[in-house]
A and B are shown apart, each in its own frame.
Chain A
Amino acid sequence: MKFSIVITGAPYSSQASASALQFSRSVLRLGHEIHRVFFYADGVHSGTALAAPPQDETNIPAEWTTLAQEHQLDLVVCIAAAVRRGILDEGEARRYEKSGHNLAPDFTLSGLGQLVEAGIVSDRVVTFGA
């Protein structure tokens, strides 16, 4: 079955991203497919490359990058939600003349159309809210 996952809660302030990670691992382990993971609203903070949690805690952004590399996941961060919260890729940093960019590896910034498309082509969309 084809799943898409939506995350609207920020890591470390809500459980949404951590729950979604565990759910996604089960989805893949059981032989299903993940069409896309869409990070929306405060969920965009899962896409930062600069998170530096204590070593005995889970690095949630890094866990997403690892899972994406193992399973070729499409991790999409809502661009409008991201840039207003300071989550920028190289191109957006240049556009807004910022001193740096911080979008983590294997994440991409894109629009809400990617969420709509995920809803159309997926058998199930599961939302993890804040």
Chain B
Amino acid sequence: MTTLHLINKTPSESSALRDSLSAISDGDALLLIENGVYAAMPAYAERFTRLPRTIQCYLLNNDALARGLNDLNPDFGAIDYDGFVELSCRYNKVVSWF
């Protein structure tokens, strides 16, 4: 059973990212949306270094562009809403942290 974890808050405004990282399992994926995309700024990269390699990380590029963010953490794959839907289908459950 795999889970897609959705994070829509910055690491500083809520514990959503920390909570999700403590609950994430092998084979799961992380998707940053809305203000969550700020977590892909290089300053936060250290938070993701201990994640197992089996966990894929993504960000919703629409929300990154809307915030003028570029040069983001290269470990995060940039996707659009169609990609978001495809990830929702690929993983067994979608859990939102906020």
A1-30: CB near B (< 8 Å → 1, else 0) gives 101000000000001100100110111011
Q: Is A102 an interface residue (CB 8 A)?
A: no
Q: Are A3's CB and B88's CB within 8 A? A: yes
How far in angstroms is the closest Cβ of chain A from B66? 9
Interface residues of B in 63-79 (CB under 8 A from A): 63
Q: Is A126 an interface residue (CB 8 A)?
A: yes
- Select which of A1, A3, A30, A129 is within 8 A of B98 by beta carbon: A129
Measured in the bound complex, the distance between the Cα atoms of B96 and A128 in whole Å is 7
List of B residues within 8 angstroms of A22 by Cβ? 62, 81
Q: Is B46 an interface residue (CB 8 A)?
A: no
Q: Are A30's CB and B96's CB within 8 A? A: no
How far in angstroms is the closest Cβ of chain B from A119? 11
Q: Is B94 an interface residue (CB 8 A)?
A: yes
List of A residues within 8 angstroms of B96 by Cβ? 126-129
How far in angstroms is the closest Cβ of chain B from A16? 8
Q: Is A130 an interface residue (CB 8 A)?
A: yes
Q: Is B32 an interface residue (CB 8 A)?
A: no
List of A residues within 8 angstroms of B8 by Cβ? 15-16, 19, 128-129
List of A residues within 8 angstroms of B81 by Cβ? 22-23, 25-26
Q: Is B34 an interface residue (CB 8 A)?
A: yes
Residue of A nearest to B9 (CB): A129
List of B residues within 8 angstroms of A15 by Cβ? 8, 34-35, 63
Q: Is A98 an interface residue (CB 8 A)?
A: no
Identify the A interface with B (CB < 8 A): 1, 3, 15-16, 19, 22-23, 25-27, 29-30, 32, 124-130
Identify the B interface with A (CB < 8 A): 6, 8, 33-35, 62-63, 80-82, 84-86, 88-89, 93-94, 96, 98
12 contacts between A and B (CB under 8 A): A1-B89, A15-B34, A19-B8, A22-B62, A22-B81, A23-B85, A30-B86, A32-B85, A124-B94, A126-B6, A126-B88, A130-B98
